[in-house]
Amino acid sequence: MQIARTIAEYRAHRAALLAARAVEGRPGLVGVVPTMGYLHEGHRSLMRCARADCAIVATTIFVNPTQFGPNEDFTRYPRDEARDFAICEAEGVDIVFAPRVEEMYPAGAETTVSVGRLSTVLEGAARPGHFDGVATVVTKLFSIAQADRGYFGQKDAQQLMVIRRLAEDLRIPTEVVGCPIIREPDGLALSSRNVYLSPEEREQALSLSRGLRAAEAAWQDGVRDADSLRRRVLDEIEAQPLANVDYVSLANQGTLDELRGAVGAPALLSLAVRFGATRLIDNILLTP
Amino acid sequence: MQIARTIAEYRAHRAALLAARAVEGRPGLVGVVPTMGYLHEGHRSLMRCARADCAIVATTIFVNPTQFGPNEDFTRYPRDEARDFAICEAEGVDIVFAPRVEEMYPAGAETTVSVGRLSTVLEGAARPGHFDGVATVVTKLFSIAQADRGYFGQKDAQQLMVIRRLAEDLRIPTEVVGCPIIREPDGLALSSRNVYLSPEEREQALSLSRGLRAAEAAWQDGVRDADSLRRRVLDEIEAQPLANVDYVSLANQGTLDELRGAVGAPALLSLAVRFGATRLIDNILLTP
């Protein structure tokens, strides 16, 4: 496994591997798994998807400052590079790109990428500027990685939509692949931020997936009213004294327009809930 | 010469040419010359630069609607595709990418690229949103062309700076190459918009290059005062009854900050002047 700190190092490793692994003179696919590190089983599942598809697998580890708000957890966001590198190695990753901030944001950099309305609702409303930061850094990572496919988790459902939109709009030659949410056995969606939770908060945080499953069960029983479906989720979470609901949304899966009345599929049921200073998100797709 | 109307066609032609022209198994360079068509000697000089450097030369022809303001000349911007194709052929261009608007801006597209302060002064101040349109379409064209080098004219000096900035900031693996202004024998900088000028306007428009040359001569004689240098240009232009000056700027070549007092090199002396509805720009770089 190669570790690249600079774009030039990454590109040199990529080119050497492409040449070495060409089959009958044809280069294989390059897959990239962009992450902010502190890797968990969710990230590992993305690496396995990439490993199954691609001749060359790159992972990027970069805690991107521009997607954190001024009062968010950028400085205390969990980091453990040595452990991350070991995980990448174990998953058969070929190149880890782990740049310093200056490599991604050189002095004088002032170009930003914005995805319109999709960026302004739900997570975008709660975290102003967040998706501009995501869109800008992912555009850069795509430029750097020169990958045929990029792998992202469905856990950050709106982020995945924003990234699909920017790749499509900017005609970026990287196919965006979404991969399923990975959960703990008790249902908690994996997140690097789960380490912030106290044992009591963690116990109450199980209400998120429980609420989503309750709504899904109602959906499968034929409930179609948007408020009733949102209510199933809220009932579970609001019963937890430490939980503060940011939003529970049932929205059109293509546009994220909030749904009223009778709901058609596919619809995205998503939520953000705070436990103390820790903000968790989760979602489920309601399909026909 | 291949003509591609779609991204898929372009990429297929590019890949086939790269394979066919590989030398000892190594692909040659790809150069791209983005244009809005109605090609003149200035564009031809860019194609020749690219032809001299690169194994494969692509030209794009696309009148980009998003860089025109609501009261600008998008609909009447001159177009002559058959003539443009013949010029490309004569210059040894390998692929012409001439997409329809829907191929560049698919339904629902809402991603924009913005370069900060550089976009807001001079041409950006006179044409709000212009450089966001330029930055967005050039990012797309770079994603599509997958070129090693992109060739742009120094005539649009600020545009060249914006494009250098976005390519650097977004880590786009295309080197931005600036090429000198091409002028008519009498000094008029070549522009597709010159066709709009009446004979009388065209005669008076010679004051632009004459003014720039007068300031350059003063600079070479040791004049360093910013106002005096700008005055040399203004004196020539303001003597023309049909000329309306938008701006005459003497600015830092890196930042476009307007200069006051004693000027150091390199400094960009640039101007925009209207003759009726036709807006012309020109510039000269004052070097040590």
Is the pLDDT confidence value at B11 over 80? yes
CB contact B173 to A (< 8 Å): yes
Looking at the fold, whether A27 and A108 belong to one and the same domain comes out as yes
Compare A27 and B194 and report the one with higher pLDDT: B194
Looking at the fold, whether B155 and B253 belong to one and the same domain comes out as no
Give chain B positions within 8 Å (CB) of A108. 165
Task: Establish if A115 belongs to a structural domain.
Answer: yes
% pLDDT > 70, chain B: 100
Looking at the fold, whether B244 and B127 belong to one and the same domain comes out as no
Report the residue from B110, B113, B146 with minimal CB separation from A111.
B113
Cβ proximity of B103 and B123 under 8 Å: no
- Lay out the sheet containing A278-286: strands in order across: A243-252, A267-275, A278-286
Looking at the fold, whether A56 and A85 belong to one and the same domain comes out as yes
DSSP symbol at B284: E
Looking at the fold, whether A140 and A95 belong to one and the same domain comes out as yes
CATH of the domain at B21: 3.40.50.620
**Cβ neighbour number for residue B204 with a 10 Å cutoff:** 19
Report the alpha-carbon angle A57-A58-A64, nearest 5: 150
Q: pLDDT tens digits, residue range A236-255?
A: 999 999 999 999 999 999 89
Which alpha helices (H) appear in B91-129, and where do they start and end? 101-104, 123-126
Instruction: Give the model's pLDDT for residue B147.
Output: 97
Looking at the fold, whether A35 and A127 belong to one and the same domain comes out as yes
CA–CA gap between residue B97 and residue B9 (Å, rounded)? 9
| Mean pLDDT, rounded, for A71-77 | 90
Task: Establish if A187 belongs to a structural domain.
Answer: no
What is the pTM assigned to this prediction?
0.92
Q: pLDDT tens digits, residue range A85-122?
A: 999 999 999 999 999 999 999 888 999 999 999 999 99
CA–CA gap between residue A279 and residue A110 (Å, rounded)? 29
Instruction: Give the model's pLDDT for residue B35.
Output: 98
Question: Which residues touch A150 (CB under 8 Å, ≥6 apart)?
Answer: A31, A32, A33, A34, A138, A141, A142, A163, A167, A174, A175, A176, A177
What distance in Å separates residue A249's CA from the closest CA in chain B?
22
Looking at the fold, whether A116 and A19 belong to one and the same domain comes out as yes
CB contact A8 to B (< 8 Å): no
CATH of the domain at A272: 3.30.1300.10
Domain-ending residue, one of A155, A179, A203: A179
Nearest-Cα residue of chain B relative to residue A162: B111
CB contact A168 to B (< 8 Å): yes
What distance in Å separates residue A57's CA from the closest CA in chain B?
19
Looking at the fold, whether A175 and A197 belong to one and the same domain comes out as no
Of B101, B105, B97, B131, nearest to B116 by C-alpha is B131
| Mean pLDDT, rounded, for B90-101 | 98
Domains: count for chain B: 2
Task: Establish if B185 belongs to a structural domain.
Answer: no
Task: Establish if B191 belongs to a structural domain.
Answer: no
Instruction: Please provide the average confidence, as pLDDT, over all residues in chain A.
Output: 95
Instruction: Say what the ipTM of the complex is.
Output: 0.89
What distance in Å separates residue B126's CA from the closest CA in chain A?
20
> Under an 8 A CB cutoff, do A117 and B110 touch?
yes
Looking at the fold, whether B278 and B217 belong to one and the same domain comes out as yes
Nearest-Cα residue of chain A relative to residue B7: A171
Task: Give the 3-state secondary structure of residue A169.
Answer: helix
SS (H, E, C) A189-251: ECCHHHHHCCHHHHHHHHHHHHHHHHHHHHHHCCCCEHHHHHHHHHHHHHCCCCEEEEEEEEE
CB contact A32 to B (< 8 Å): no
**A130-145 and A157-169 helices, crossing angle to 10°:** 60
What the block records as the tokens of B288 is 């040590």
Range of the domain at A41: 2-179
Confidence of residue B91 (pLDDT cuts 50, 70, 90): very high
What distance in Å separates residue A195's CA from the closest CA in chain B?
33
% pLDDT > 90, chain A: 92
Is the pLDDT confidence value at A154 over 80? yes
Task: Establish if A143 belongs to a structural domain.
Answer: yes
Confidence of residue B57 (pLDDT cuts 50, 70, 90): very high
Domain-ending residue, one of B179, B205, B222: B179
Domain-ending residue, one of A179, A204, A233: A179
| A13 catalytic residue (yes or no) | no
Task: Establish if A184 belongs to a structural domain.
Answer: no
Report the residue from B7, B108, B170 with minimal CB separation from A139.
B170
Q: pLDDT tens digits, residue range B201-237?
A: 999 999 999 999 999 999 999 999 999 999 999 999 9
Instruction: Give the model's pLDDT for residue A269.
Output: 98
Instruction: Give the model's pLDDT for residue A71.
Output: 86
> Under an 8 A CB cutoff, do A171 and B104 touch?
yes
Q: pLDDT tens digits, residue range B134-192?
A: 999 999 999 999 999 999 999 999 999 999 999 999 999 999 999 999 999 999 999 98
Q: pLDDT tens digits, residue range A20-71?
A: 988 777 778 999 999 999 999 999 999 999 999 999 999 999 999 999 998 8
CB contact B117 to A (< 8 Å): yes
Looking at the fold, whether B220 and B80 belong to one and the same domain comes out as no
- List C-alpha distances in Å: B96 to A56, B62, B144, B210, B241: 32, 10, 12, 36, 42
Instruction: Give the model's pLDDT for residue A217.
Output: 97
> Under an 8 A CB cutoff, do A170 and B140 touch?
yes
Looking at the fold, whether A162 and A217 belong to one and the same domain comes out as no
